[in-house]
Structure 1
Amino acid sequence: MNKQIIFNLPVRDLERSKAFFAALGFSVNPRFSSENALFMNVVGDTLHVMLMTEGFFKSLINKPVVQAREANEVVICLSCESREEVDSLIARAQAAGARIPHPPEDHGFMYDQGFEDLDGHLWNLVWMAPQA
């Protein structure tokens, strides 16, 4: 079995979050989903996100759930194949309701921009020149 990365995120409205991430091209794997959680394929078969209702998420931990609109613990960074892919994903995220906290940053060898999803989780999209 190949190693996989699965990160879990609490969300306020599971169906709304499902629609948001579907607009970005993430697909739901119904085999590992329920009324409390959606298992979504982010990139191929190795990177996934488990969107969980806040109540279900809280039942799995023994400390408070961070409200991502107020504080952040992590920025999820996804690599992209091109600058155009970064721009395309940002445009789709914004159209689906994301907040764009800053303009794109172009460092020549690296191009990136981020978005804040419906629950305030920060995502960064980055393209790096192959020669970098």
Structure 2
Amino acid sequence: MPGSPVIVSLPIADRSTSHRFYSAALGLATVGEPAADGIPEPLQFAVNDGLRLMLVPSGGFGWVIGDHEVADRGRSECVLGLTVQSPAEVHRIVEQAQSAGARIVTPPAAQPWGYAGTFADPDGHLWLVTAA
């Protein structure tokens, strides 16, 4: 297991929309061979050497979660976090995400615990970008 990446799976509404968003907003590269639609199946992105993000259409998410319900759009059970080097980098990533279709939830600003901004991806999943 030490060599295996951790995979975070999230339900999505549309593969093409999510593929475009994560490529443009965070500059993530896909993992795997393209399917007939030109997008890898399953749709996975390499976040870093130890972490992958897998995006699963909501209708197919049930095979993983069994009798649990997929959270309604806009209801978050987790917040995904990115740590960057500076407040300027927080602004850059949040603005880049917004340009790619994100909704800004909390504009980048100084908080009592650090400098951060939060955005929601096209499916409502929250990303918190914090300066180290």
Counterpart check, 1:102 vs 2:106: yes
Q: Distance in 1 between matches of 2:8 and 2:88?
A: 26
Q: Distance in 2 between matches of 1:91 and 1:64?
A: 32
Q: Distance in 1 between matches of 2:51 and 2:89?
A: 18
Count residues with an aligned counterpart: 124
Greater mean deviation of Cα atoms: 80-89 or 4-13: 80-89
Q: TM-score, normalised by structure 2?
A: 0.84
Q: Distance in 2 between matches of 1:29 and 1:101?
A: 29
Structure (1 or 2) with the greater strand fraction: 2
Q: Secondary structure at the match of 1:64?
A: coil
Counterpart amino acid of residue 101 in structure 2: G
Aligned to 1:72: 76
Q: Distance in 2 between matches of 1:107 and 1:52?
A: 33
Q: Distance in 2 between matches of 1:40 and 1:100?
A: 22
Residue in structure 2 matching 1:40, options 42, 45, 65: 45
Residues 6-17 of structure 1 correspond to what in structure 2 (within 5 A)?
6-17=7-18
Question: C-alpha displacement at 1:31, in angstroms?
Answer: 4.7
Aligned to 1:84: 88
Q: TM-score, normalised by structure 1?
A: 0.84
Aligned to 1:29: 31
Q: Distance in 2 between matches of 1:108 and 1:101?
A: 17
Per-residue CA deviation, residues 52-76 of structure 1 (Å, 9 max, x unaligned), is 111221222222111231x211111
Return 5+ residue gaps in structure 2 as ranges: 35-39
Q: Secondary structure at the match of 1:101?
A: strand
Q: Which runs of 4+ in 1 moved over 3 A?
A: none
Question: C-alpha displacement at 1:94, in angstroms?
Answer: 0.2
Return 5+ residue gaps in structure 1 as ranges: none
